[in-house]
Structure 1
């Protein structure tokens, strides 16, 4: 009987110890969890306070501010500044790279048509002016024996400088079309009109008409067909300096194989064949 009572008392004591230990663990967990929450909240308020009250540039670049390196606020702002600068640098680099790539894509086909990764149209040509490239002068604004208006530009540069030929041929100032399709055609001519002082009193009209024509010659038709015409009326310069003018035109036309394109101008004696100011070209668009 005494032994049974002793076993029961021992069991009660063990259960009480386990219960007390469980309660102690639970209380300790609640306490430490509350302490951690308090520390987290305190750190968060401290970080926000650093951002609100601290100048990001203050002392970050000052090597003599050794006492600030142990300051938590200094460390927070330093890390934040580093992160912001890195993000801005990455974004700036990406945007600049994209902008430069777009610019080069638009320019390189003309400057260097063989650049890798910059495809040219299947058929294309850009030819530039050459000095002394005009046919012998004809009467202005009259029909030549070849059935076209103006004075024909006989020579263009197709291989050097800014010029190139991509599956097109340049022959006698004419671009030969190798393939049927819709072509974008363009031309620009540059004129230098002398001033009245340079002409030393030579009798001249008050104004001059500058005209540029783009013609198509077909093997099945004897007379060239006028595709485009651009004109401008200008006055002879009266000061010491010459007058500088340019005519530009562009458009599309459907061309057949063996068609030829060429350019004529009026007032050819005043034209300057600068390779960057006088040019002619075409490319297949569809």
Structure 2
């Protein structure tokens, strides 16, 4: 007996896989868009913060002065003297000379811009010290209790040695007492001691002898300048006649401090 023919019922087509793929693609697109928007917003925020910081710094007198110092720096391969009365920019020199007090303020307020040593300013200030009645080739000095010396500047035999390279302001005042005498005037020299070659003259100051023939008139000569020093460089002060130097308190001194 023949059975009636019934065609096989077709299996339903599964739609779960395409739906899952669509959901995954939508999630991926939303994530990429959110990441892009977040990155753009972060960049805008960072840009606004930097602009605000730059605006605040531009209003600071100390920061403007540091910018001026940076413009005065010498290019590579030039002599170690950054500023010199004779052949350097006189405006930069006057700026450094007249802002010595501001430098101390900068050391306290902007230590990260001036020096890596944030605990103590790199500086030294010494008083004149007379240890002989004979002429000496290098003036002698002694430390003072009111001006502590940094451990990055050492003193020995009348000479200051820097242990950290950088931009330094070097200064000295020598007071002397003379009567009328023929010959060259009283001269103060600051030298850079170079072991492998002749000492290099950094600064020089002169003053004429007193016109009095009865008594010794007290006079003084001050010199100062900014120089690029390397680690291990040594500087010292010399005069034409050390026996004429006046060592009374505050009259004769020698020092330096690191600017940058």
| TM-score, normalised with respect to structure 1 | 0.46
Deviation beyond 6 Å, 4+ runs, structure 1: none
2:152 paired with 1:183: no
Contact 1:218 1:258 in 2 (8 A): no
Q: What is the rounded CA distance, in whole Å, between the counterparts of 2:132 and 2:221 in structure 1?
A: 17
- Report the Cα distance in structure 2 between the residues aligned to 1:275 and 1:176, rounded to whole angstroms: 24
| Residue among 161, 169, 175 paired with 2:154 | 169
CA distance in 2, matches of 1:279, 1:190: 9
Give 1:75-86 correspondences, 5 Å limit.
none
* 1:274 to 2:233 alignment: no
Unaligned runs of 5+ in 1: 1-105, 110-115, 139-150, 197-203
Q: Which residue is 2:138 aligned to? A: 152
How far did 1:161 drift?
4.0
Counterpart in the other structure of 1:123:
122
In the alignment, is residue 284 of structure 1 matched against residue 258 of structure 2? yes
- Kept in 1, the 8 Å contact 2:188–2:206? The answer is yes
User: Is structure 2 residue 232 aligned with structure 1 residue 258?
Assistant: yes
Shift of 1:132: 2.4
Asked if the contact 1:157/1:163 (under 8 Å) is kept, the reply is: no
SS at match of 2:173: strand
Name which one, 1 or 2, has greater alpha-carbon Rg.
Answer: 1
Higher helix residue share:
1
Structure 2 counterpart SS, 1:183 = strand
Residue 217 of structure 1 corresponds to which residue in structure 2? 193
Cα offsets for 1:139-190 (capped at 9, x unmatched): xxxxxxxxxxxx321x2112x3444311311111111111111100000001
Q: Provide Cα deviations, 1:244-281, integer angstroms capped at 9, x if missing partner.
A: 10010000110000000100001222111223110000
CA distance in 2 between partners of 1:157 and 1:163 (Å): 11
Where do residues 25-36 of structure 1 align in structure 2 (5 Å cutoff)? none
TM superposition shift of 1:137: 2.7
Q: Distance in 1 between matches of 2:222 and 2:240?
A: 14
Consecutive unaligned residues of structure 2, counting only runs of 5 or more, are 1-100, 116-120
Task: Write the distance in 2 (CA, Å) between the matches of 1:272 and 1:244.
Answer: 8
The alignment's TM-score, normalised by the length of structure 2, stands at 0.50
Q: Which residue of 2 aligns with 1:243?
A: 217
- Helix, strand or coil for the counterpart of 1:164? coil
Aligned CA-pair RMSD: 3.0
Query: Counterparts in 2 of 1:10-159, with a 5 A limit?
Result: 122-132=121-131, 136-137=134-135, 151-153=137-139, 155-158=140-143
